[in-house]
A = this chain, B = another copy of it.
């Protein structure tokens, strides 16, 4: 694939999608897009992207169609709806869903696409808004290996790492593994800080002792310092994380796997949302955990 010969279509230009489209335009690709609200697309249109009204029209104008939307329900409607992507694809098109969504839905879309000689890949990412902007996402891909390999240059535009994980749905399953890891890790970080705070420790000194060694984690190094500054701005939205954990719990039930730590994290994050912090960053778990103990997390220490 090359900018001269491959036309790209895109559905969904939220925070992640917009950054990823920017990489496509910078690399010189012809880009046709649509999104729920046109206003978010304006900067991309000004930079040369073409606007159409439906996912079907995106697919009609593209050799590769990528999507980055919100929920599994959005994915279903964008792919399988009356004016959805699969209404516009032709044999040979490749469709790529970057949304974190349900493995079973990824398999359903794959089957429907396959019937039309279209190759569908599920390719959720981790690395958040910063990773999307800086092109350092980790991309976890399920579907036909040949399609994954044909898109080698495409992945490189967005990610420092893309790994083929197996048949359709495997990308989504791998993303669930990623989210299960983060869920309990965040519980540990916030409980540890709460304990340390109530024990009267100087938490900056504590982080010096525990941030390397066996307790080290990305969450601790990157989110604990924000929590200590009372900075709960999103990197990664609480409500998106709850959606992801809900998908993982549903899949776990289907697979017959008991995950008590994930279930606890999911409930605690629901408390974060119930307390009005659904649009805060994942580190806002600190506020709900503190409230469990009747503690107001301090704005100033």
Contact = CB atoms under 8 A, between A and B. Distances in A.
A103 B200 CA distance: 12
A251 B199 contact: yes
Interface in A164-211: 164-166, 170, 173-174, 176-185, 187-189, 191-196, 198-202, 205-206, 208-210
Chain A: interface secondary structure?
helix
Copies in the complex: 2
Given A177-B196, A195-B176, A216 B218 contact: yes
Contact of A166 (B163, B180, B202): B202
A199 B173 contact: yes
Interface string A209-224: 1101111111110100
B292 A209 contact: no
Q: How large is the interface on A (under 10, 10 to 19, 20 to 34, 35 or more residues)?
A: 35 or more
A268 B257 contact: no
B165 A212 contact: no
Interface stretch (A13-21, A64-72, A226-234, A259-267): A259-267
A252 interface: yes
Nearest to A267: B260
17 contacts: A126-B209, A126-B210, A126-B213, A127-B213, A127-B214, A131-B213, A161-B212, A165-B205, A176-B195, A177-B196, A178-B214, A180-B195, A181-B217, A184-B188, A195-B248, A198-B256, A256-B293
Interface of A: 103, 126-128, 131, 138, 140, 161, 163-166, 170, 173-174, 176-185, 187-189, 191-196, 198-202, 205-206, 208-210, 212-220, 222, 236, 248, 251-252, 255-262, 264-265, 268, 289, 292-295
